[in-house]
Structure 1
Amino acid sequence: MPDGLVRGLGDAGLLAADLPARHGGRGLSASALGTLCARLGGVCTALRSVVTVQGMVAAALSRWGTDEQRARLLPALVRGERLAAFAATEDGAGTELSAVEAELRRDGTDLVLHGTKRWVSLGEIADVFLVLARLDGKPATVLVEAGGAGVCVDPVRGQLGLRAAHVAHVRFDGVRLPARDQVAPAGFGLSHVVGTALDHGRFTIAWGCAGMAGTCLELAARHTAARVQGGVRLSDHQAVRAALGRGLAAVAAARALCLRAAESRQDGTPAALSDTVVAKYTAARTAADVSQDAVQLLGAAGCAPGSAVGRFFRDARITQLIEGAELVAEVRMGDLALREHAVARPAAGRTAAEGAPW
């Protein structure tokens, strides 16, 4: 990722752009933020991840931070003067963040943090971390400055995808923090602070995946329309057109679900969370499927070093794993389906015709 890119995004007004003007943002609507992430996702997943992670931390601070924390950090995050990272995952706490073992203990008026976080996007270059830990046995979140005593960053190299996202493992070895850096009271760290961050991230990833899939479809269509083998254009083969048709339908469906999620978020309806879960799952799967078909259609050109389609194919697999394997999202959606559609049994001694509740 080129030096100066984050500041450039800030100068262009693309970081935490959904924040209200009082915090330096542009007050973008949910659909406008989604469209931005789709455009960025169609160029580079790591580029979109900068907007996602910066927005996750900014959203959490905007809603749950103190006035001092907002004034100190939000304008700098919006301008790109500071880069944030979200540090929650551990070896034994991936999809089940309630199992984190990172610990905060009190020492006079200060807090002391011990723990190791894994797979922190932008962790290698972040200026500040939003860290999930436990304080007095309860989930708590704190802000930790990078480069301070006890903060050890171990960059990750050679991962399958998101290779430009500066992923790192980060160890916090007795990091001393002033009490002012705690975000919300202990007990609210996971359900409120982290919940807000994850929901924001899930939403922007969904749109980014839809944009990624759209670009893969476009590149595949252009290649097959121009490529001639045996005197026949690839696009003249029915199997090729069928693959493009499947991609067109899948991309349209993913975009429609992303738009539904944006509308429910904007309206503040109770379905906002479930709509976002469904949109992220579908868009990530669409990106994986369409990019895989695009690699097949481009052949060697899709696998060559520097191929955008090949890069998207790898990145799409990573987006399917964010928040855990797809099975985790499927179980969550199954719970939603049961709550929405399961029919209650008639009360004892009554039939449906007699007006039993349904």
Structure 2
Amino acid sequence: MTDGAVSESSTAADRARRFVREMVEPLAEKIDREQHFPGQLVTALGEQGWLGAALPARWGGGGLDPVDFGPVLEEFGWGCASARTLLTVHNMAAQAVLRYGNEEQKRRHLPGLASGRSIIAFALTEPDVGSDANAIGTSAVEDAGGYVLSGEKIWCSFGCIANLFLVFASCNGKPLALILERDSPGLKIERMTDVFGTRGSELARLHLDAVRVPTENRIGAPNAGIRFVANTALDHGRFSVACGTVGIIRACLDTCTAYAARRQQGGVPISQHQLVRRILTDGLVAYTTARALCDRAARLRAAGDPRAAAETALAKYHSAEAAIRVANDAVALLGANGCSSEFPVSRYLRDATVSGIIEGTREIHQISLASYALQKPWTNA
């Protein structure tokens, strides 16, 4: 990762903070309003190494471990949830290729993904298939030397600009993961607009009409599509969303504390009113606990601890729920101004709400985390 204007002793979070404040946050409102992620920002993210920050140096990446990558994601979440989404989907698909791709697939794809010359999108969800990924309807029919894909994918973040897609299909009842190239005949990409939050995430609907994919583009074993490839990607995605959502909480606190200090009611700044102080206190607690959970998950991930996936889900669930509460409080604190596009808190609320849905809804996490609770993980804390 290069940043000639920053000393080599700067941490990745320091570099991310500077990049986000200079390049990302000033564009956040425009990205949200126009529902478009600018190409020059995609280029800058690649050139500055952020798209490959968590990939190994062997493949041209920054080699950041989860402990260092987490605060980077927080900075991007603070500045623009759509930018954080690009880092999320690109990295989760790239990590799946890193773990389950063969050497030839890694040589072919990872250097481009690390540099940002290639963007990869994650194509799992379908119009009638969401949380139950095993019910996937897209079919892959074996053909001479490959597969023929037919079906439809939806909510494909950055699918409008991706060069590659990690697509999941069913072949003879077995889940399959394939890398699909953008220029494949039979692939139609339809832009999705007017969504609630992360409006600059270049959402796409993919129409697959007898799209042929060669066997060498299969990632992992024929039956490994969901249990291994998709779940690995989603695990990385949950970590990214958790850390990025901590950034949304911090952004709400920044806005609320500044507003409460200057806004006056009854002859005093509203920061002196008890109910406003309650909002600020709750926001501080939410940020501190969410960040601590993300840091714990990051350390367990870096250590390869078997609890890491569950603790990552715990961090994601808590951070998203906390961000929704804090952002809702932020809108209330600003009153009518909180409903205006002149202030960012309404965007924070919409983006936080999306974070509670993607990479596992709150209800799915409530089910899985209850199972984790029954294991009494606190006895091994």
Match of 1:69, as an amino acid? Answer: Q
Match of 1:210, as an amino acid? Answer: V
Cα offset for 1:342?
Answer: 12
Which residue, 178, 182, 185 being the options, matches 2:221? 185
Contact (CA 8 Å) 1:7, 1:79: kept in 2 or not? no
1:79 aligns with 2:79: no
- CA distance in 2 between counterparts of 1:171 and 1:70 reads 27
1:137 is matched with: 173
- CA distance in 1 between counterparts of 2:364 and 2:95 reads 24
Match of 2:338, as an amino acid? Answer: G
2:348 is matched with: 312
- CA distance in 1 between counterparts of 2:343 and 2:218 reads 44
Which residue, 80, 83, 99 being the options, matches 1:63? 99
Cα offset for 1:230?
Answer: 3.3
Cα offset for 1:92?
Answer: 2.6
Cα offset for 1:73?
Answer: 1.2
Greater mean alpha carbon deviation, residues 38-47 or residues 141-150: 141-150
In the TM superposition, structure 1's runs of 4+ consecutive aligned residues that sit over 2 Å from their partners are 339-343
Q: Number of aligned residue pairs: give it.
A: 343
1:109-258 map, 5 Å: 109-258=145-294
2:34 is matched with: none
Match of 1:290, as an amino acid? Answer: V
- CA distance in 1 between counterparts of 2:377 and 2:231 reads 25
Cα offset for 1:111?
Answer: 1.2
1:301 aligns with 2:360: no
Contact (CA 8 Å) 2:237, 2:359: kept in 1 or not? no
Which residue, 1, 4, 11 being the options, matches 2:47? 11
Match of 1:99, as an amino acid? Answer: A
Contact (CA 8 Å) 2:186, 2:210: kept in 1 or not? yes
Cα offset for 1:154?
Answer: 1.5
Match of 1:155, as an amino acid? Answer: R
- CA distance in 2 between counterparts of 1:197 and 1:329 reads 16
Contact (CA 8 Å) 2:127, 2:154: kept in 1 or not? yes
Match of 2:261, as an amino acid? Answer: A
2:32 is matched with: none
Cα offset for 1:93?
Answer: 1.8
1:167-194 superposed Cα distances (whole Å, 9 cap, x missing partner): 1111111101111111111111111111
Cα offset for 1:341?
Answer: 6.8
Cα offset for 1:208?
Answer: 0.2
Match of 2:87, as an amino acid? Answer: V
1:275-286 map, 5 Å: 275-286=311-322
CA RMSD of aligned residues (A): 1.5
1:49 aligns with 2:85: yes
1:356 is matched with: none
Cα offset for 1:23?
Answer: 0.9
1:256-302 superposed Cα distances (whole Å, 9 cap, x missing partner): 00000001001111110110000000001111111111111112222
Q: 3-state DSSP class of the match of 1:183?
A: coil
Contact (CA 8 Å) 2:160, 2:189: kept in 1 or not? yes
Which structure 2 segments of 5+ residues have no match?
A: 1-36
2:362 is matched with: 326
Q: 3-state DSSP class of the match of 1:123?
A: coil
Q: 3-state DSSP class of the match of 2:213?
A: strand
1:28 aligns with 2:52: no
1:40 is matched with: 76
1:113-163 superposed Cα distances (whole Å, 9 cap, x missing partner): 111011111111111100011122211100111132111112111111111
Match of 1:250, as an amino acid? Answer: A
Match of 1:152, as an amino acid? Answer: K
1:347 is matched with: none
Normalised TM-score (structure 2): 0.87
Q: 3-state DSSP class of the match of 1:174?
A: strand
- CA distance in 2 between counterparts of 1:325 and 1:15 reads 25
Q: 3-state DSSP class of the match of 2:223?
A: coil
Contact (CA 8 Å) 2:52, 2:116: kept in 1 or not? no
- CA distance in 2 between counterparts of 1:76 and 1:11 reads 11
Match of 1:95, as an amino acid? Answer: S
Q: 3-state DSSP class of the match of 1:172?
A: strand
Which residue, 263, 266, 283 being the options, matches 2:299? 263
Cα offset for 1:6?
Answer: 1.6
Match of 1:292, as an amino acid? Answer: N
- CA distance in 1 between counterparts of 2:328 and 2:260 reads 15
Q: 3-state DSSP class of the match of 1:208?
A: helix
Q: 3-state DSSP class of the match of 1:4?
A: helix
- CA distance in 1 between counterparts of 2:258 and 2:123 reads 40
Contact (CA 8 Å) 1:84, 1:129: kept in 2 or not? yes
Match of 1:222, as an amino acid? Answer: A
- CA distance in 1 between counterparts of 2:159 and 2:112 reads 18
1:39-58 superposed Cα distances (whole Å, 9 cap, x missing partner): 00000000001111110111
Match of 1:186, as an amino acid? Answer: P
- CA distance in 1 between counterparts of 2:209 and 2:40 reads 30
Q: Structure 2 vs 1, CA of residues 56 and 341 (structure 1 numbering), >3 Å: closer, same or farther?
A: closer
Q: Structure 2 vs 1, CA of residues 341 and 215 (structure 1 numbering), >3 Å: closer, same or farther?
A: closer
Which structure 1 segments of 5+ residues have no match?
A: 344-358
